Chains A and B, each alone.
Chain A
Amino acid sequence: MTTPIVRVEGITKTFGDTVKALDSVSLEFQPGIIYGLLGPNGAGKTTLIRVLTTLLRPDSGRAEVAGVDVLADPKAARTKIGLAGQFAAVDDYLTGRENVEMVGRLYGLSIAESKQRADDVLERIRLQDAADRQVKTYSGGMQRRLDLAASLVGRPEVLFLDEPTTGIDPRSRIDIWELISDLVDGGTTVLLTTQYLDEADQLADRIAVIDEGRLISEGTSDDLKDTLGGSVIELSVPEDRQAETIDALRAICGTEPLIHELTNEITVPAVEGAKTLTEVVRTLDAASITPNDIALHKPSLDDVFLTLTGRPAESEETEEPSTNGQRGRRRRRKQ
């Protein structure tokens, strides 16, 4: 077994007295893969990236990147890593090329070398046409790509990308996915964070799901889906029969069914697949409940997320924090 390229052991970080951004997180993975850190807003993704990129000291725990103890020897760690933060850290009044060359120089490259690499990287990221324009004329997506280019110029062993595709249109998003895949084919290891399940599903070889600072699950996309026992039943019933249906499902499946707040759809793991489905249909029929809709399908990461966290994965919008709704608000149960 090869040595893990990133190893995190019991990292805890508390902000102030109350906000536990990371709660004893441990994970490790092998070189040459894309590792996805999946979690909703405030899960602690950025905090973990900041610890691994030497920007933040955790309260406790150990972290190793490319064989270097990040906390004991941050200076050495910085020679091994590249970082593209959650918001593009580029200078608007410099040109794209100047931005990348500057970062190259700060990695310790000579002037000629940093020019050469800036050329390569800009071409790779398909910004060569805009390379000599000031960044203030770039679109948001171009700025993110430039930021990514800057993080590549030092040829890091491990690349940290914090939500590389947030706020980027679908086409550019696919461009970035391709670029990341190419990088990994070239031997770089990538740790990226995302709030998008499909992104983790498509891109990441392994996924860690974190929520409220805790690692709640880890594995390949398939591993995660398997935790739901193969397939799930998704159904909706008239609202006045929902409570009854839930009770029936709980009795059959042995787990608490989940209700999607917006669609009122009920999801429950079907341990024995079609057999479970048949049983559910029979039971509902006997109680003369007619579902509006019922289906058996392979779980999506969405279902995994729902099951693990008790709430659906956040999509674009987050509600204002003042509602302080917590989990209960999302689970509408009528009893």
Chain B
Amino acid sequence: MTATTAPTKPGRVAATLPRTIRDIIVIIKRNLLRNLRLPQLIVLSTIQPIMFLLLFTYVFGGAIGGTLPDAAAGEYVNWLIPGLLVQTAAFGAGQTAFGLTEDLAKGVIDRFRSLPMARSAVLAGRTFSDLIRNGFVITLMLVVGFIIGFRYQTSFAGLIGGLALAMVFSFAFSWIMATIGLFVKNPEAVQAATFIPVFPLVFASSVFVPTQTMPSWLRAFADNQPVTVTVDALRGLILGEGALLPGSTVLGQASLSLFYSGLILAVFVPLSIRLYRRSVN
């Protein structure tokens, strides 16, 4: 009885690009609706970076102000904002890991995997919706920054360029977080796991203070890692070339930041898609 080996109908849904994009949009909508329906979620995740902004500005501002390059125009908040934008981009990306583990735990991913939808849509939908969400948080932070005295020293275009760079970085970081989420799988455990890459990158960097005072071994890392490179690129774009270390250029740092983001995507997009395909609860 081999009748059932009849050729599989070529009615197979090819993952055509328009179909993939459509599926991604459906997932983005779903994820964003959650943020809209649970406004506490976004309020709470905005409070933390804004608290950072206020605390650092008023607690450390006085002490650090004097050691800053002239490009900061004597205001710590000018120096801090580009750093915090990148920090928020990195922390916010952690949401990607959390959202995925939650969907895994609730069986939603099982449902998606049993549907004839594009395989990449769940991850892409998740990272894009987190990008939109992080864009919102970052914009809000910038507004608070303006209120407490932040002023860009270059041009509006420079500011927008800086924001765009931070968003690209946030998107790339989301894919690292997607990989972590699919690897850890457990919503309770994942929060701690996301800190593992975020903490060293954010604190051993130029986010809060210039790297000059760090021990040389740490500085070698701090000066060259993606968060510092991106923060420096933002400072260059927002405050001018004077904010950079001697020898580096705005274009150089911006290109290097984009290169890092590209590298992260090249590694973690395929990795997370592979993990997704295998993810079994």
Contacts and interface: CB of A to CB of B under 8 A. Distances in A.
B117 interface: yes
Contact of A134 (B37, B108, B112): B37
Contact of A73 (B4, B8, B113): B8
Interface string B89-123: 00000000000000000111011111111000100
Interface in B1-58: 3-6, 8-9, 11-13, 15, 19, 22-23, 26, 29-30, 33-34, 37-38
Q: Is the interface of B mostly helix, strand, loop or mixed?
A: helix
Contacts of A76: 8-9, 11-13
A108 B4 contact: no
Nearest to A2: B3
B147 interface: no
A75 B4 contact: no
Contacts of B107: 85-89
Given A4-B4, A68-B8, A106-B23, A89 B13 contact: no
Contacts of B6: 3, 67
A189 interface: no
Interface string A89-130: 111011000100011011110000000000000000000000
Which of B3, B23, B38, B116: most chain A CB closer than 10 A?
B116
B111 A93 contact: no
Interface residues of A, number: 39
A332 interface: no
B34 A91 contact: yes
Contacts of A67: 4, 6, 8-9
Contacts of B157: none
Q: Which of A53, A86, A102, A134 has the most CB of B within 10 A?
A: A102
B280 interface: yes
A106 B4 contact: no
Contacts of A83: 110-111, 114
A38 interface: no
Interface of B: 3-6, 8-9, 11-13, 15, 19, 22-23, 26, 29-30, 33-34, 37-38, 106-108, 110-117, 121, 280
Chain A to chain B: the 8 pairs with minimum beta-carbon distance, closest first:
A89-B107, A78-B116, A76-B12, A93-B37, A106-B117, A89-B111, A83-B114, A79-B116
